[in-house]
Amino acid sequence: MIVDINFVGLIIASIMASAVPLILASCGELITERSGVLNLGVEGMMIIGAISGFALMTVTGSLIIAVFGAMLAGVLISTIFAFLTQTLITNHVATGLALTIFGIGISAMIGKNFVGIPGKEFPVLFEGLKDTIPLLSPILFGHSIVFYFAFALPFITSYFLKKTKIGLIVRAVGDSPESASNQGINVRFVRYACILYGGAMCGLAGAYLSMIYTPQWIENMTGGRGWIALALVVFSTWNPIKILIGAMIFGGLTIIQFHMQAIGVRIPVQFLTALPYIVTIIVLVVISRDSRKIRLSTPSSLGKSFHKDN
Amino acid sequence: MNTNLKISNITKIYPGCVANNDVSLEFNSGKIYALLGENGAGKSTLVKILSGVVIPDEGKIYLNKNILKLNSPSDAKKNDIGMVFQHFNLFETLSVFENLIIDSDEQRENLKEKIDTIMKKYNFSVDLDVPVLNLSAGQKQKVEIIRCLIRSPKVLIMDEPTSVLTEQETSELFLSLKKFSEEGILIIYITHKLKEVMQLCDEVAVMRRGKLVSVSQINNENIESLANKMVGQDLKTIKKKKENTSSEQLIKITNLNFTSEDPFETNLVDINFSLNRGECLGIAGISGNGQSELFQVLSGEIISNKNSIEFNKNLIGDLNPQERREYLMAFSPEDRLEQAAIPQMAIFENVALNNFKSSNFFNNGLINESKIKEHSKKIISEFNVNTDNIDLKSQFLSGGNLQKLIIGRELITSPDLLICFNPTWGLDVGAINYIHETLIKINEQNKSIILISTDTDELLKLSDKISVIHRGKLSKIMNAEDVTSEKLGILMGGGN
């Protein structure tokens, strides 16, 4: 059998494209969780980002306004979460779940008027280089700017956490908010900032889905990707590079099982659909077995409210 | 340059408690000051005020005659006040160096150089690249001290610094503190340990119930005078009456062995002893020599061979703690909040927890709350627990009150044998005295005690017989009158 090498390249590119929203949302949530805040509202923030991006694109016609608007929408909805958990000291888990339910509901309501409207074409970069190198060209060139940003993000996140002072402060707050506060760090401010950043990234992930990946609005179109993103953060043991690996495996299996279904492999469809979820988690568990490293990268105060007493 | 720190008329009121009541003090550099008081006397609140963590309701602080406004920890830092907290303020998962750089404005290289100089000067050795959670308590404290020294502080406040240190680490710390003091750093040392005050400090201020009761030169004081000031009443010197104890054997341990799978635990080798009614057997030793394993084997947390423990003529080696209680044994474990009580549960709930069978606390699987509460009130009044709210979560009790509650809970069922492990660890003098009196009373009622403790003074005071545990082996049982603390010291170190 002769396999067209460019076809392989195209498959890899489509795997990468399907990993983009997971990487964006996971890296955002990773920063939030590293500061000790467990925001289970990822799915809700993503879907808000998706509808905001699509609606703004349709109404204003400007892609730039739409993308930044989606991020802003993510920031706004995460501000609700931040206010509740950091200022009113509500429970992280309950508030996050409420955020997801709220997001799905309100996006469906806004989205009613946008069902069936075709999306706009999103500009791609380096399109002229598409046929220059076999195999690599389709992987490297001809993607949206969000795509390139997503694949740079795990490395930026890793550098930020390990090498910069602000990254150190975020980790310190996640490790022990009491100590951080006694050191004169404004814990509430740091946590607000991390929550809002996580919201922005989830908003962007949603916008990627509704504007670039499948340019249209479908109700509930995030389809559980927010939950996968959350799982990736935990099973990668809060390591951005492992998030990248996990997202690629998940994206890869999702695409491959589609193709397997299409060519009629005699495995039950339900099993194939479940495969990406199972394999991703198994792989991440296996590559993150070192208990010492887990202890070092797990934010000790994750999900615990911090209340400064005076 | 001389440093003068003055606090005047500091008052801080918490709901239901006056933590600091009109406290005024003056400190000058070149001396080491002790701030002495029982738990809850207000020492910690005062130093939290000095370090900017807590803002006082009234009063002023002056540094070199200039008024200081301390609204946050960073204000204290800016004004060269360094503070080492009792509970370390470190980030466990960050490396030592990351812990140090986080609140420093210096460049990496400069800071590294500075840390090196400090470590050389004071003979500290801490690996900068390992995460803090891998360090011993003594090393963690050194990191805290280095963090203060980087800022070349004028004032260094140490809050109960020795509570987690070994003796060796304590003497190292004292040497360093004396050196700092010679270099002109004003040192304020907070403690409730009288011996340390006598050893280290030049001047001592005593606090009680939020008020300052005395300020004096250390030369004019001794341990007794300080203890009396601290507690506010003359402490009775407790002495055990040596009565002729009965010869009726209560418990006999024969060839008890325990081999652990955990490399951090100590194996117990051929433990043999017996104890008569009305006697107290003290087991001395440096911590980590098998005490906690011995306690667990005796209490039934670890189950052993049936024949190895004979209690009241029953073979009970294979019974669990609940079943052993049925035979009238009682236990007071070392860690009050982890093992003895559940911190998030109310006092009365904790009282119910060790009385599943032999009580009428439960009817047909339902909790008989009024019975339990009645019983709890009885314990609180009989054992002097200083609260009248039995719905209070046990984590809010002070160490002394919690220990009284735990011992009370065990004793109210009038057991034949109480096994306790470091019952007075971390308590203040008043509470220690009370626990000691209680334990002596038990013996007088012809009941027995096995007292596992790392405090030799306590053992010599309370025991009739003493043995030393070293690397999981028990020395021969000696009569307490024939033992001196020197002799115990030798045995604890593994000598003969």
3-state secondary structure of A269: helix
Give mean pLDDT, residues A245-253. Answer: 92
Task: Please give the torsion angle defined by the CA atoms of residues A41, A44, A47 and A53, in that order, rounded to the nearest 10 degrees.
Answer: -70
Cα(B197)–Cα(B205) distance, integer angstroms: 10
Which pLDDT score is estimated for A258?
Answer: 83
- Do B102 and A165 make contact, defined as CB atoms within 8 angstroms? yes
Which pLDDT score is estimated for B15?
Answer: 72
How many residues appear in chain B?
496
Tokens describing residue A295? 């202890």
Q: Name residue B214's beta-bridge partners.
A: B206
Enter the pTM of the model: 0.75
**Count of structural domains, chain A:** 1
What are the contacts of B168-171 at 24+ separation with CB within 8 A? Answer: B169/B136, B169/B137, B169/B138, B169/B141, B170/B196
Domain residue ranges in chain B: 4-231, 249-492
Please check whether residue A309 lies inside any domain of the structure.
no
- Do B93 and A168 make contact, defined as CB atoms within 8 angstroms? no
Chain B residues within an 8 Å CB radius of A166: none
* Residue A165 pLDDT greater than 80, yes or no: yes
Kindly give the residue spans of alpha helices, DSSP state H, lying in A176-302.
Answer: 177-182, 187-208, 225-235, 240-262, 269-287, 291-297
% of chain A surpassing 90 pLDDT = 65
Which pLDDT score is estimated for A266?
Answer: 83
Which pLDDT score is estimated for A182?
Answer: 83
Is the fold of B4-231 the same as that of B249-492? Answer: yes
Poorest-pLDDT segment among A65-74, A260-269, B239-248, B478-487: B239-248
Question: Between the CA of residue A310 and those of A15, B135, B322, what are the distances in Å?
Answer: 52, 31, 43
How does A261-295 read in b/e, with b if 16+ C-beta sit within 10 Å? eeeeeeeeeeebeebbbeebbebbeeebeeeeeee
Closest C-alpha to A100, from A257, A220, A185: A220
Beta strand extents in B73-191 (DSSP E only) = 81-84, 155-159, 186-191
Nearest to A183 among B54, B55, B73 (CB): B73
Which pLDDT score is estimated for B495?
Answer: 73
Average of per-residue pLDDT values in chain A: 91
Cα(A48)–Cα(A206) distance, integer angstroms: 7
Cα(B416)–Cα(B277) distance, integer angstroms: 8
Nearest to A182 among B53, B92, B94 (CB): B53
Tokens describing residue B451? 């007292």
* Residue A52 pLDDT greater than 60, yes or no: yes
DSSP A238: S
Please check whether residue A256 lies inside any domain of the structure.
no
DSSP B131: B
Please check whether residue A273 lies inside any domain of the structure.
no
Cα(B268)–Cα(B473) distance, integer angstroms: 6
* Residue A16 pLDDT greater than 70, yes or no: yes
Which pLDDT score is estimated for A151?
Answer: 97
Cα(A72)–Cα(A91) distance, integer angstroms: 24
Contact B102, B176 (CB under 8 A): no
Which pLDDT score is estimated for B134?
Answer: 83
Please check whether residue A270 lies inside any domain of the structure.
no
Please check whether residue A42 lies inside any domain of the structure.
yes
Which pLDDT score is estimated for B139?
Answer: 87
Question: Between the CA of residue A238 and those of A34, A246, B10, what are the distances in Å?
Answer: 7, 12, 46
Which pLDDT score is estimated for A292?
Answer: 76
- pLDDT tens, N- to C-terminus, chain B (496 residues): 788 999 999 999 887 678 899 999 999 998 999 998 877 788 888 988 998 888 999 999 999 999 989 888 888 888 999 989 877 889 988 999 999 998 888 888 999 999 999 999 888 888 999 999 888 778 898 999 999 999 889 999 998 888 777 777 888 899 999 999 999 999 999 988 888 899 999 999 999 888 999 999 999 988 888 888 887 766 666 666 666 667 788 999 999 999 887 766 788 999 999 999 989 999 998 777 888 899 999 999 998 888 999 999 899 999 998 889 888 899 999 888 878 888 888 888 888 887 766 567 888 778 888 888 888 888 888 888 887 788 888 888 878 888 999 999 888 888 999 999 989 887 878 888 889 999 999 888 889 999 999 888 888 889 999 999 988 899 999 988 888 877 887 888 777 7
Cα(A218)–Cα(A210) distance, integer angstroms: 8
- Do B93 and A169 make contact, defined as CB atoms within 8 angstroms? no
A294 at B interface, C-beta within 8 A: no
> Could you name the CATH architecture of B249-492?
3-Layer(aba) Sandwich (3.40)
Which pLDDT score is estimated for B356?
Answer: 65
Respond yes or no on whether ipTM tops 0.90. no
> Could you name the CATH architecture of B4-231?
3-Layer(aba) Sandwich (3.40)
The range of the structural domain enclosing residue A127 comes to 5-222
- Do A184 and B98 make contact, defined as CB atoms within 8 angstroms? no
Cα(B255)–Cα(A100) distance, integer angstroms: 62
Name the more confident of A254 and A96: A96
% of chain A surpassing 70 pLDDT = 98
- Which residue, among A165, A183, A238, A294, would best test binding to B if mutated, counting the most B CBs under 10 Å from its CB? A183
Tokens describing residue A125? 């970069």
Cα(B126)–Cα(B119) distance, integer angstroms: 8
Which pLDDT score is estimated for A50?
Answer: 97
Please check whether residue A97 lies inside any domain of the structure.
yes
At A146, the pLDDT band (50, 70, 90 cuts) reads very high
Distance from CA of A98 to the nearest CA of B (A): 27
Tokens describing residue B472? 């999981």
Please check whether residue A250 lies inside any domain of the structure.
no
Give mean pLDDT, residues A56-82. Answer: 96
Chain B residues within an 8 Å CB radius of A188: none
Question: Between the CA of residue B36 and those of A24, A158, B10, B194, B197, what are the distances in Å?
Answer: 55, 48, 17, 8, 8
Which pLDDT score is estimated for B100?
Answer: 93
Sequence-distant (6+) residues with CB within 8 A of B282 are B451, B453, B459, B460, B462, B463, B465, B466, B467, B480
- Do B131 and A296 make contact, defined as CB atoms within 8 angstroms? yes
Q: pLDDT tens, A176-209?
A: 998 898 888 899 999 999 999 999 999 999 999 9
A60 at B interface, C-beta within 8 A: no
